[in-house]
Amino acid sequence: MTGWPTPKVRARRSVDDRINLSSNELTHPAVAALVEELVAGFDPASLTRYPIQDQPAAAVAEMLGRTPEELLLTPGSDAAIRLIMLACRGVTDGLLITQDPNYEAWTATADLVGGWRVRCVRRSGENGSGWLPAMVAAARDASPAVVSVSCPNGPDGHAPTLAQLRSLLAVCRERGHLLVLDACYSGFSGQFAELTQLAGPHCVVLLSWSKLFGLAGGRFGVAVAEPALVGFLRAFRQEDHVNVLMLHAARMTQKLQPEFEAVWSDIAASREQLRLWLAEHGIHSPESGGNFLHIPVDRADRAVWLTEELSRRGVRVRNMAAVPGLRDHVRFTVTCGPTRDRFVETVEPLLDGLRR
């Protein structure tokens, strides 16, 4: 071996005093107390034993209206994406059909593991409204592939309808594709339960406890699929990497689901109020089904200015310059309560500068 490949990697995360509205974490006044309840009663002695997954899997399955044999427990939804890309390369024709833009883990993993051809389907129409017909057309004209759709979409917030997803799933079944629905933001679009029920033959649904249940630091997710595929993926033993604290929290989730659903509703309502508020200030923020909104600007230098000025004033947001189709957007996480009030007070004086 003469040298190692040098792919681009992110710097390790660090903490500072700014409000973090750049990572789409679950930010709401009720979340801290709810997370405390999720981990209440945890037995530290369980850390001395290897994880036991049967009871957590049964509890999550009951919450989702599925069976434990239909669930793969993972250390986050990113881990599920990487496992699918590794495990399915030889089962499909090595083709990934994906939205463009989509969550970056798909194309990044394809580049790292090799052996994948990637067909990107570009967004069209306002906020990607033309995506699903284009995805259906691409799926209809392809050999067996992995077809990746985020619903709502991670970068831009577009939320396809269930009817659109069912039409895509029908084509995937007909053509022998594996459709993977990334439903990590589904609570904020009101589609959590309905999307989960689409899982089955030719369809995997990914759920993230980071986005939905405030456990971004815990790293826990679930892949819902038919038992044969779950059995195949379980053979890679990824469940062994889910730590016992998150397994405990997973067992507790069903008890607190109504409270979290209220949080999702609050954030969705806040999102629409903020869209109207931005419109009153002359800023047309595209519709979003996630817990985030975009502030579109007309020049790259203005996106840089807004991001840096908010950072200087103590609020982190994300310049989307590296994302195709969103290069003139600045994204921020929607929140409620005092954090939202501080964001509004901080950004409002800057909005006039975007319209000049």
| CA angle, residues 329, 154, 205, in degrees to nearest 5 | 170
Residue-wise pLDDT for 143-200, tens only, equals 899 999 999 998 999 999 999 999 999 999 999 999 999 999 999 999 999 999 999 9
* Torsions phi, psi for 121 (to 5 deg): -105, 110
Q: Is the pLDDT of residue 228 over 70?
A: yes
Residue 286 and residue 284: Cα distance in Å, rounded? 6
| Contact assessment for residue 210 and residue 216, using Cβ atoms and an 8 Å cutoff | yes
Segment 1-8 mean pLDDT: 74
Q: How confident is the model at residue 352 (pLDDT cuts 50, 70, 90)?
A: confident
Question: What is the per-residue pLDDT for 192?
Answer: 96
Ranking 78-82, 124-128, 192-196, 260-264 by mean pLDDT, the lowest is 124-128
pLDDT category at 44 given cuts 50, 70, 90 is: very high
pLDDT of residue 82: 96
Residue 91 binned pLDDT confidence (cut-offs 50, 70, 90): confident
Q: Of all residues in the chain, what percent carry a pLDDT higher than 70?
A: 97
String of DSSP letters for 67-107: -GGGEEEESSHHHHHHHHHHHSTTTS-SEEEEEES--THHH
Q: What is the mean pLDDT of the chain?
A: 93
Q: Whole-prediction pTM value?
A: 0.95
Instruction: Tell me the C-alpha distance between 203 and 139, whole Å.
Output: 14
279-320: pLDDT as tens digits:
999 999 999 999 999 999 988 899 999 999 999 999 999 999
Place of tokens 């990572």: 23
DSSP calls for 186-198:
GGGGT-HHHHHTT
- pLDDT attached to residue 128: 56
Q: Which of 4-8, 92-96, 137-141, 156-160 has the lowest mean pLDDT?
A: 4-8
pLDDT for 343: 97
CA pair distance 250, 39, nearest whole angstrom: 9
- State mean pLDDT over 322-341: 93
Give the DSSP letter of residue 217: T
Q: Could you give the percent of the chain with pLDDT greater than 90?
A: 84
Rounded to whole angstroms, the Cα distance separating 320 from 288 reads 15
Is domain 19-29+257-355 given the CATH code 3.30.300.30 in the classification? no
DSSP string, 209-265: HHHHHS-TTT--EEEE--HHHHHHHHTT-GGGGS-HHHHHHHHHHHHHHHHHHHHHH
Q: Which top CATH class is 37-255?
A: alpha beta
Rounded Cα distance, 99 and 103, in Å = 9
Say what the pLDDT of residue 93 is: 80
Name the pLDDT band for 3 (thresholds 50, 70, 90): confident
- Ranges for all domains in the chain classified under CATH 3.90.1150.10: 19-29+257-355
Residue 355 confidence (pLDDT): 64
Residue 129 banded pLDDT, cuts 50, 70, 90: low
pLDDT of 127 > 60? The answer is: no
Specify the pLDDT at position 4.
80
Sequence ranges of the chain with CATH classification 3.40.640.10: 37-255
